[in-house]
Amino acid sequence: MNNIRLFFKESLSINFRSKLDKSQSHYLSKVMRINEGQNFSLFNGSGEWEAKIDLIDRGIVNFIIQKKLNLLLVEIPDRNQYSMPLRMLKIIMIT
């Protein structure tokens, strides 16, 4: 299996069928040059899954989930919920 991993925000399960968006489809088919019948990995908050390309139709990759590879032990936080406060330091100039 290739070490190609893509984030997929939808819920995944065995025998789940779906398609990738245009940019992810382009990356798989044109940049990584994988074809129908080949495998790649998808991951999300529930873990990592092995997917197989069913069909590439008009540049869009259709896939089916084959099996679950491993659990994700750390939940992926929503980047909109967290922020890091910035602390400003005062610089005093002595003249």
Instruction: State pLDDT tens for residues 16-67.
Output: 999 999 999 999 999 999 999 999 999 888 889 999 999 999 999 999 999 9
What value does the mean pLDDT take over residues 69-93? 56
Amino acid identity, position 65: I
Between CA 76 and CA 48 the distance in angstroms is 13
Query: To which residue do tokens 């382009």 refer?
Result: 26
DSSP element (H, E) containing 25: helix 22-26
